[in-house]
């Protein structure tokens, strides 16, 4: 089942400074007017969220965050809570990105973060993906384990609020986009795994995205044939023309 399209810009640790960030946002706002049928989310570095929350207020682009901590308050140096993010108008939060998992984030922490985000009525965008692909398809076991980990303790009414972004690690930032066939196959696999954990109707309500070297030139084909409801975009989201091209590919 296709959902309303969702395209998320993951700016990561970019751009270099606040002025550049503001310029990029201004360009995006100019290019992405009246795109009602697709939800667009920009996730800048935390430091820019306060300013962006004012400039995006009431507009078409929604504000997201790249991570969150699962506790609400207390002695957790350097962390930011879901309650603090929601106070700045953040609507979507990425968790479990492979770049954070590489720094030690576990499935258990990802699960706790999802629960904290849902409690604050924001949308978690949970990244899953295999490091490598093997001929035998054993990487599907890793994907299944990640889905079980993120869904642990979540009732059907909660899992349908989660966005799952399939981001094969070998495709992130490498220029090697997954093929339409690979993406479609993974969409079916994720739905069937969720069906085993819940039921078909619930599984089909979960919004699925693809991420990994998405470019404007291939976005339409991927969107129309890959079975996913949109994209999580890294590198190409730092270029207003590329990113708006990707958003436009989701508009029929």
Catalytic residues: 97, 167
Residue number, nearest CB to ligand PEP = 234
Counting contacts by CB under 6 A, is residue 226 touching ligand PEP? no
Distance in angstroms (rounded) separating the CA atoms of residues 221 and 236: 17
Counting contacts by CB under 6 A, is residue 209 touching ligand PEP? no
Tell which one of 44, 149, 226, 235 touches ligand PEP (CB under 6 A): 235
Subset of residues 159 to 198 that bind ligand PEP, contact rule: CB under 6 A: 167, 172-173
Q: What burial letters (b/e) apply to 225-244, b meaning 16+ CB within 10 Å?
A: ebbbbbbbbbbbbbbbebbb
Counting contacts by CB under 6 A, is residue 211 touching ligand PEP? yes
Q: Which helix (H) or strand (E) holds 182?
A: helix 180-197
Distance in angstroms (rounded) separating the CA atoms of residues 97 and 68: 12
Please state the φ and ψ torsions of residue 163, each to the nearest 5 degrees.
-100, 130
Q: Using CB under 6 A, count the residues that bind ligand PEP.
A: 13
Counting contacts by CB under 6 A, is residue 214 touching ligand PEP? yes
Name which of 64 and 198 has its Cβ closer to ligand PEP.
64
Task: Specify whether the CB–CB gap between 219 and 249 falls below 8 A.
Answer: yes
Q: Which residues bind ligand PEP (CB under 6 A)?
A: 10, 167, 172-173, 211-214, 232-236
């Amino acid at each position: 089942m296709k959902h309303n399209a969702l395209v998320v810009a993951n700016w990561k640790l970019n751009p270099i400074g606040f002025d550049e960030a503001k310029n990029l946002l201004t360009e995006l706002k100019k290019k992405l007017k009246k795109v009602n049928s697709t939800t667009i989310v920009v996730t800048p570095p935390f430091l820019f969220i306060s300013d962006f929350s004012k400039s995006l207020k009431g507009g078409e682009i929604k504000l997201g965050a790249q991570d969150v901590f699962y506790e609400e308050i207390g002695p957790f140096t350097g962390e930011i809570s879901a309650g603090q993010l929601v106070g700045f108008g953040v609507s979507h939060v990425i968790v479990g990105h492979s770049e954070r998992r590489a720094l030690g984030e576990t499935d258990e922490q990802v699960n706790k973060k999802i629960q904290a985000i849902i409690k604050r009525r924001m949308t978690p965008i949970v990244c899953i993906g295999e490091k490598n692909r093997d001929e035998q398809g054993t990487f599907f076991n890793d994907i299944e384990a990640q889905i079980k980990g993120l869904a642990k303790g979540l009732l059907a009414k909660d899992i349908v609020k989660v966005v799952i972004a399939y981001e094969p690690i070998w495709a992130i930032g490498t220029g090697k986009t997954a093929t339409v066939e690979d993406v479609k196959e993974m969409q079916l696999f994720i739905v069937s795994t969720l069906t085993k954990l819940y039921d078909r109707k619930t599984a089909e309500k979960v919004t699925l995205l693809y991420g990994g070297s998405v470019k404007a030139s291939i976005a339409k084909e991927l969107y129309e044939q890959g079975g996913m409801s949109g994209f999580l975009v890294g590198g190409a989201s730092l270029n207003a023309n590329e990113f708006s091209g990707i958003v436009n590919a989701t508009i029929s």
